[in-house]
C-alpha cells in the first residue's frame, strides 16, 4: 500500500497552484472504524491529502532535488464532514518560496460547499539529515507524478503552455 491521500491532479501549474480530487469510499478500511455506524473522512487524512497536493507541487518545481516535508500546519478550519460518496476537491496555492522552504494556502470543497481551509508551511530537509540515504529515489517521484497525471494536465508557470517533462525523469 502506498500513502496516497488524493487520487489525481485536475490542475497543476508548475510552482504556482494545483487542484486535486479525493474520492471518499466506504471501501477504505479507515472508514470502517471512524466511526462505526457514522463513517466520516478523518480530518487528519484530509490534511495529509492537502499537504501532498501542495508538497508535490513544490517538490516538482524544485526538480525533486529537495526533501520537502510538512513543517507546520499554520491553520486548519473544518466547516463540515466528508462522508463516503463525497468527492473532495483540494486546491493549493503557493504563497511564498525561498531556499529553505515554502508556504501555501489551501481549501477543500465538497462540490460547491467549502469543507475546510488551510495554511501550511513546508521545509526542505538538510541534505545531510539522513547521510547518504535517500527518502525517495527519482523513480519514486516519477511514479508519483505520472500516477497523479501531472504531465497530462499540467501547465508551465504561465498557466497556458503545456508542462514539459523534467530532464530528471527522462531515460529512467
155 in helix, strand or coil? Answer: strand
Assess whether 43 carries a catalytic annotation. no
C-beta of 154: minimal distance to another protein in Å?
26
If one asks whether residue 103 binds another protein (CB under 8 A), the answer comes out as yes
Choice from 96, 112, 160, 167 touching another protein (CB under 8 A): 96
Residue 123 is a binding residue for another protein (CB under 8 A): yes
* Residue number with CB closer to another protein (10 or 105): 105
- Rounded to a whole number of angstroms, the minimum distance from the CB of residue 21 to another protein is 29
Nearest distance, CB of residue 123 and another protein, angstroms: 6
Stretch that binds another protein, among 60-68, 98-106, 107-115, 140-148 (CB under 8 A): 98-106
Nearer to another protein, 69 or 138 (CB): 69
127 scored as a contact of another protein (CB under 8 A): no
Q: State in angstroms the smallest separation of the CB of 95 from another protein.
A: 8
Judged by CB under 8 A, the stretch of 17-25, 39-47, 67-75, 110-118 that binds another protein is 67-75
Angstrom distance (rounded) from CA 158 to CA 163: 10
Nearest Cα to Cα of residue 98 among 122, 118, 75, 119 = 122
The per-residue DSSP string of the chain comes to -----S-EEEEEETTTEEEEEEE--TTSGGGTSTTTTS----HHHHHHHHHHHHHHHHHHHTTT-S-EEEEEEEEEEE-S---TT-EEEEEEEEEEEETTEEEEEEEEEETTEEEEEEEEEEEEPPTTTTTT--SS-HHHHHHHHHHTTHHHH-B-TTSSSBPPPPGGGTT-
Per annotation, catalytic residue among 34, 43, 109, 149: 34
Binding site for another protein (CB under 8 A): 71-72, 74, 95-96, 98-101, 103, 121, 123
Positions marked active-site: 34
Amino acid at each position: 500500500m502506498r500513502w496516497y491521500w488524493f487520487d489525481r491532479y485536475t490542475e497543476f501549474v508548475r510552482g504556482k497552484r494545483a487542484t486535486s480530487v479525493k474520492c471518499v469510499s466506504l471501501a477504505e478500511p479507515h472508514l470502517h472504524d471512524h466511526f462505526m455506524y457514522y463513517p466520516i473522512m478523518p480530518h487528519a487524512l484530509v490534511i495529509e491529502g492537502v499537504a501532498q497536493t501542495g508538497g508535490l507541487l513544490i517538490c516538482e518545481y524544485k526538480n525533486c532535488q529537495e526533501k520537502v516535508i510538512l513543517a507546520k500546519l499554520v491553520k486548519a478550519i473544518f466547516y463540515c464532514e466528508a462522508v463516503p460518496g463525497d468527492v473532495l476537491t483540494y486546491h493549493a496555492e503557493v504563497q511564498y518560496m525561498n531556499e529553505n522552504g515554502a508556504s501555501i494556502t489551501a481549501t477543500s470543497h465538497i462540490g460547491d460547499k467549502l469543507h475546510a481551509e488551510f495554511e501550511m508551511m513546508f521545509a526542505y530537509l538538510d541534505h545531510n539529515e539522513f547521510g547518504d540515504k535517500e527518502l525517495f529515489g527519482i523513480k519514486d517521484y516519477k511514479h508519483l507524478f505520472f500516477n497523479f497525471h501531472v504531465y497530462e494536465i499540467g501547465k508551465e508557470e504561465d498557466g497556458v503552455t503545456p508542462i514539459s517533462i523534467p530532464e530528471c525523469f527522462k531515460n529512467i
